[in-house]
Homo-oligomer: A and B are copies of this chain.
Amino acid sequence: MSWEDNVRKMDPYIPGEQPDFPDMVKLNTNENPYPPAPGVRKLLAELDADRLKLYPKPDAKELVEALAKAYGVDVKNVFMGVGSDDVLGTAFLTFFTGDKPVLFPDISYSFYPVWAKLYRIPFETPALDENFCIVKEDYMRENGGIVISNPNAPTSIAVSMDFIEDIAKANPDSVVIVDEAYVDYGGESCIPLTKKYDNVLVVQTFSKSRSMAGMRIGFAIGNEKLISYMFDVRNSYNSYTMNYPSIMCGAEALKDKAYFEETTRKIIATREKYKKILCEIGFDCPDSCSNFLFAEHKTMAAKVIFEKLREKHVFVRYFKTPRIDNRLRITIGTEDEMEKLVSALKEILA
């Protein structure tokens, strides 16, 4: 007997590496290549440092009110956390206590099985079809909960709101989590479903389309009862998860709709342009509704390309996972970054 016998031993989720070279082209963790809205810079510089001596507001008032306003819901429909990982983790802990398996696709955000193992939640992973599409019928059987990333990662493929509605309607006794981390790049948000179904929870993040991965802000929108259960669990873990800068800067970021729309539009335009260029040099990608491409090359193995890019300080994401181990997940950067990627690829493929 030792204290180690009582340890919860985990194989953690491995995030994309965070290299730090001055000359790097960083297209590996789906960050936004554009800075946060100008108002955020101004607010951060003027933030009252003396206020830090006090606890932040436990309800993150300014942020939650701004989110409710931006998404046309009541403050009682909004939950917030330290990135969408914190929000999703809290949702797993709150809603998935049953004996039946929680369902999510075999190829999806690789954190889902990690949360399930952490909280000892049974789960099953129905396979995507041969085109990496979710098979709706797989989610029409007995389960303890459902998690769908939409658009899905790392496939970049989206389903419609109707598709999710069919799943939600067929599963009134399960919470259906819709992880919309990438929805602003061409997906259709299921927030409207949260007004119609009390079992639908939509999760989004400031890390992608709001250019604030470094601030760690995520949120969920759902029925008041769902949200209230999540707060009870959160407040049984940590009363103050959002620090003062994140509350204030997050609220500020939501004010500048024009900047958000402009940067999002730019990323979508860059994506479409470079999807074509990548196809011209032998890559194949499904249509993307996200800020990344899910690319396979006709002749060269993904692992080789990944490693050769890495040597040139061009970072993309490679998963050593069955079915997708010949694919690269390439974040959409600025046009300049994408040009550097294409030059490097041309050299590698030459």
A–B Cβ pairs within 8 angstroms, 19 of them:
A3-B95, A3-B174, A3-B175, A5-B98, A6-B145, A8-B233, A13-B235, A14-B235, A18-B54, A52-B211, A53-B211, A53-B214, A86-B237, A89-B238, A115-B237, A214-B244, A215-B245, A243-B246, A245-B246
Q: At the interface, yes or no: A324 with Cβ under 8 Å from chain B?
A: no
Complex partner residue of A240 from B85, B94, B173, CB under 8 angstroms: B85
- Interfacial chain B residues near A207, Cβ < 8 Å: 55
Q: Mark A83-126, 1 if CB is under 8 A from B, else 0.
A: 10110010001111110000000000000001101100000000
Q: Mark A14-48, 1 if CB is under 8 A from B, else 0.
A: 11001000000010010111111000110011110
- Among residues of B, the one whose C-beta sits closest to the C-beta of A29 is B55
* Interface size band for A: 35 or more
Contact B11 A232 (CB under 8 A): yes
Which of A197-222 touch B at CB < 8 Å?
A: 198-199, 207, 211-216
- 19 more A-B residue pairs beyond the given contacts A118-B236, A216-B241, with a C-beta to C-beta distance below 8 A: A2-B172, A3-B198, A6-B96, A7-B94, A8-B95, A8-B233, A12-B235, A12-B239, A15-B240, A18-B54, A18-B57, A31-B53, A34-B53, A44-B44, A52-B214, A54-B213, A55-B213, A118-B237, A243-B245
Contact B53 A33 (CB under 8 A): yes
